[in-house]
Chains A and B, each alone.
Chain A
């Protein structure tokens, strides 16, 4: 246990890096990390380096696993099962299928035209940006394993429940008709060699880093500001655990916003440190990742307003419920 906890602290929480940057800030910049300025600079450098190291290692490892589950294969696997198990599998496959919001429409059309139930496709589309394998490890690094696992479980639950409700509502008529007209091609699957998979994983690392680096810098910047410059009394007055409206505010701010989950983590870290409830922070993170204006605008191309609003309503209600639930039992986690 001693060894595991040491590995956890050094590899996941990177205490060696924390010390190293402390030495840099104190000896080279001549600032004390307990001061405001020194503390902000320390938080910023340490968090940026930590997230980039973890992200590179994680994306590489995860992309290697993902190369076995391209969306074409997911489509075939999901086509074989029915009912709620299909929603559960859809949500699970969502976590490991390589995905970026720019491919949500082709995947939606591909799945739907292959005859997959609408609800299963939605379970997949909800879990895909929300629960990412890399985000689990990062959550464990910033908070702890219990919080990471809780996040995953409620994220998957949200995807399964929302998808199942959409299935039950029989909303197929609210999909733009051209989606069904497409013939579903079964493209030839190419066999990948180990080298192909390594090449794919390397490309994924550089693609994802190029796509998310700015969100991470902005996120860590906001985190550093919350950490050291915004008075705690102000934050707790708006988002404090005892304020019933804190979860609603987190949802209203988080839902239209678009950022990668990796950019939201440093903000979450700083908010927790300032005494904001775990539930409020989870609502914010889930709102940012699961729903955003760009993805809604894209989805509008393939589904009619009634289905779009149902989807937004279900997911929003879900993340607000999750927020209140975790605020009530948050003391068990942090």
Chain B
């Protein structure tokens, strides 16, 4: 550092010899009284001027600080305060859902949701530790992170119970507060979960009737009016219970079941297993939300022989007395069609149905013709989605083009994939006098006669009823018998399509579709187990007759009393006459 341009006075310079520390006599401090002139005088003058500049700069700085202070406290305060006190909008109420008897299936509860103003939290760590003692399902680390986030509004836990709210309040932590909310509650838990569906955290329907009727349920004008379903929660429970039992006995991966009123199309019970608890949407595994009844499409197998028999009777190509050769398997191209309960002889139409003969069914279908089969399938609604009130509706897989080979396989329920609900709806039409009533989840107004579409004649329907009863009395469905309730039904055992497109012989879909009482059917019951395995009591079998038929029998035993179906004496002449089927081939048995 040097600056040589300061004015210097030659006569003074020699006196200014620097003397280091200690030589005080020569120190200029003593000369301060002298009037300033020359070098030192000018330097002092410069210093004073520059000191004024410095002082001015400082003055400006301090004034700026003052202005900023006033600006912050008086003019930005309102804005910040408004930001701090924003609260989320109140959630709208949502209508209740009840079953056909007015039992509450879904409702709203006023709950308190806990949030934090993290700016008012004194010690995030302590507060988090205290909170998890009363709300053990929260993660301490997560709560601490939220409490120290600096946000003035952050949710900690939605929908606390009154006890939890009390406990949180008892902690006395500042910065925590509650927001009143309405929480969707399903008192029966997972029962009917696929029917009801579920809602998201903001009570918007995500699945089931919650989603299908979301607009209606959320409409403030209609909140007071509950949505009445056709479901009977008692029947729903029986169906779920028996189906779960069958799945567990045969180690199945899932199951589907329907109970349907054949006179109205109302679904009294609809069960898809595994199911889920809609009360805790976050914990629902996505795969459990799959509705096997209304969304899953399957080749239903021999239960379709009901339609095939109706087709033959309706077109007149066969009567109950007609005979078909089932003595040896049918070679169709490279496929060999054989029977699983082979009788190796000529069978009558009732025998073909009773023994579930594929060979006989194919021959019947070929007699009736492709066009007639296609037309009946179309009338039965097998070629389009059902109109049930759910977002989850499966589209059937239908052969295109519909060739003779398709006619042959469809006769025994292969080559066409429909939902179990399609099947139940179709069988309802078969037994109710021949009128197809679309399946519905809404309770019908019984004053109004349900408007159905005739699909087969009253006479054909009457014959089908006798044939279905025959199956349970003497055929593949004996295990579905429920004493006094005149159960009729049909087994179905389909091989599931494997990964390579062919049939996986060990992966079965075993079902049983039944109706009761067969003299005047009121309800159709369908039970289906996905991939059952033979167990030690089933003689190596995992067919519909072994797996699903007993479940259906149990279901009918349990629901018939609830539904007001009175048992009858099956041996009475009136009944035996009504259920009589001429069996020309009986001697061969």
Asked if A and B are interacting partners, one says: no
Q: Which residues of B contact A (CB under 8 A)?
A: none
Q: Which residues of A contact B (CB under 8 A)?
A: none
